[in-house]
Structure 1
Amino acid sequence: LRKWAKAGDPFAMLTCYDATTARHLWQAGIQTILVGDTAAQFMLGYRNTQGVKIPFMLEITAAVRRGAPDAFIMADMPFGSYHCGDDLAMANAVSFMQDAGADCVKFELVRDHAPLVKRLSDAGVPVVAHIGSRPQSKLVSGRSRTLYSRSDIQTVVDDAVALATAGAIMILLEAVPAEVSEAVVEAMQKIKHDGHPVLVIGCGAGPACHGHVVVLHDILGLTDWHAPFAPVLGQVGDAIGQAVTRYKDLIESGSYLKNDHPYELEPEH
């Protein structure tokens, strides 16, 4: 990731929740994967991300690792997994690394979480700090911030600086104007980890970011509503419908396995 960023080559990241899809992503050239708590919505049908718990997230993270053994995998810390104390946060984060094979863990944070980030980083846990719009905070406040003024830019930059200084290896910046991400990227150039600036991943955050992530289901055309920053690049939902209809027609016409059944009795001697 640092090599791409240094060369000025933005990298593509997508969400993934299962081994089969992870294999397809890797074969298509996607080397960075986010196992997001959005699985609550796109896999389990919940209205928000609150529906997933640690055991489920660990299971699907391990599945993605099996499907894409060589990918860089970022795992989401779900709602409630780090809100009840630093010890719980540490235990859960370590589980993602040891038990599920994640390369790093992502937390939705503000600058007040800097001590937690430092403790995790000092213990060897690579932390990605998710700032800007934070969907988990919407569960508490009832709203998700999408409007920013120029005076807000410094607030976001200060969050990023505090968390990166505490040890966050990357910043994930969601749903902010391009001017905000430009300021954050510039600020991160001044903070070095192992001699490298802190990378910024955008989720609808403008072109200045080093990499970008969207929900796979959005770009595949599988959702009734998609994020405004996620272009619909395929119509996989239509393809599923067509394949299912053809299968249904085979069954109802009586032609399924009529002439090509794969199993037969051994010949008698």
Structure 2
Amino acid sequence: MSTGYDTAAREADHRSQGDAPGTARKPITLRAIAEMARKGERFACLTAYDFTTARWLERAGVHLLLAGDSAANVVLGFDDTIHMPLDFAVTITAAVKRGAARTVVMADMPFMSFHASDEDAVRNAGRFMTEGLADIVKFEVDRSHAPTIERVTRSGIPVCAHIGTRPQMAAMTSGPRASGRSAESALELIEAARAMEGAGASMLLIEAVPAEVAQAVVESVGVPVIGIGAGPACHGQILVVNDLLGLTDSPPRFAAPVASLGAAIQEAGRAWVRNVAASDIGGSGYSMPELELKRLREAGIGSNPESPRRSGETQPTGTPNS
């Protein structure tokens, strides 16, 4: 028995969030994305970390949202992704899905959430499916992780295998580095892709590899391939939303911002500082009915705006001794 929202509930949910009746798009599913890849139709992906951003990106028509461990960088302020807390990752994944109920939402397994044992992998991936409301769970892997991926997929959990450059392994390489730049490493990536598909992965994500290598991966597997910094051959493309929106001081070389929201936010903040200094806070305030205001003033409150009586202050009743 399903415990998800029914169609009417989802419609009501989205109308309450601002969608006009009848304008909500048809839900995007993993099957729909696989069909798009089969037909050669490109699908758009972005990261999202909160309800509000996810809601706007769904309205924009984005097909897949990744509640990525990059939140460790852009939300929590860490220099790398290995500090992403598992509980926080589950929480933001659920927030993204609540904001984008008709969009495929991909969870991201944090560093050390599956490395110690297959049991950890199944348990923690399962949390993303139940508590996190995810549609699919991403693992940063190489070919050696095929048995783990098979164990997870056999448990009924859809998996996206992240190969190529793996940010969680940056400590091993003294920072992120492009992968697949030699023939040997390119062949290793192709074999890893095949191994992940063989283990049951529903999707691949390949990061920071030469375009020729990404194309070879696409041609070597039968599942959708998402690229980030991997050239145009991939079925889908993903970026960190902060990079796309111009919120990052130094975006990666493969990320071309299409907006300058950082500058816009800064200017909005400056305008607010100026307005507050001028006591010009804008908007519509609240007022008391005249009768209630009169009663308040009869109580001695507010009749002298220059000297408002503080809470708990008592009025002197006599002349102090001198």
- TM more than 0.5: yes
Distance 1:143 1:242 in 2: 34
Unaligned runs of 5+ in 1: 189-196
Give CA deviations for 1:25-50 in whole Å, capped at 9, x if unaligned.
11111121001000000001001001
Which of 228, 237, 257 aligns to 2:262? It is 237
Which of 74, 77, 96 aligns to 1:42? It is 74
Unaligned runs of 5+ in 2: 1-32, 293-322
Determine what percentage of the aligned residue pairs are the same residue: 44
Q: Does 1:99 align with 2:131?
A: yes
Letter in 2 for 1:226: P
Q: What is the correspondence of 1:84-163 to structure 2 with a 5 Å cutoff?
A: 84-146=116-178, 148-163=181-196
Q: How far has the Cα of 1:52 moved from its partner?
A: 1.1
Letter in 2 for 1:212: Q
Q: Which residue of 2 aligns with 1:192?
A: none
- Secondary structure of 1:51's counterpart equals coil
Q: Does 1:201 align with 2:220?
A: no
Q: How far has the Cα of 1:2 moved from its partner?
A: 1.7
Distance 1:126 1:140 in 2: 28
- Secondary structure of 1:232's counterpart equals coil
Distance 1:113 1:5 in 2: 25
Distance 1:54 1:91 in 2: 12
Give the aligned CA root-mean-square deviation in angstroms: 1.4
Q: How far has the Cα of 1:266 moved from its partner?
A: 1.5
Q: How far has the Cα of 1:239 moved from its partner?
A: 0.7
Letter in 2 for 1:113: H
Which of 201, 212, 225 aligns to 2:250? It is 225
Q: Which residue of 1 aligns with 2:319?
A: none
- Secondary structure of 1:61's counterpart equals helix
Letter in 2 for 1:205: A
Q: How far has the Cα of 1:261 moved from its partner?
A: 4.2
So what's the TM-score if we normalise by structure 1? 0.93
Q: Which residue of 1 aligns with 2:93?
A: 61
Q: What is the correspondence of 1:171-210 to structure 2 with a 5 Å cutoff?
A: 171-188=204-221, 197-210=222-235
Give CA deviations for 1:84-123 in whole Å, capped at 9, x if unaligned.
1111111000000011100011001011111111111111
Count of residue correspondences: 259
Q: How far has the Cα of 1:139 moved from its partner?
A: 2.3
Distance 1:219 1:122 in 2: 36
Q: Does 1:213 align with 2:238?
A: yes
Letter in 2 for 1:30: V
Letter in 1 for 2:287: E
Distance 1:255 1:219 in 2: 33
Q: How far has the Cα of 1:70 moved from its partner?
A: 1.4
**Greater radius of gyration (CA):** 2
Distance 1:92 1:55 in 2: 10
Distance 1:246 1:173 in 2: 42
Letter in 1 for 2:66: L
CA pair 171-99 structure 1, distance change in 2 beyond 3 A: same
- Secondary structure of 1:117's counterpart equals helix
Q: Does 1:263 align with 2:296?
A: no
Letter in 2 for 1:187: S
Give CA deviations for 1:117-174 in whole Å, capped at 9, x if unaligned.
1111111011111000011111234243315123332111001001110101111000
Q: Which residue of 2 aligns with 1:52?
A: 84
Distance 2:88 2:184 in 1: 40
Q: How far has the Cα of 1:249 moved from its partner?
A: 1.1
- Where does structure 1 differ by over 3 angstroms across 4 or more consecutive aligned residues? none
Letter in 1 for 2:197: A
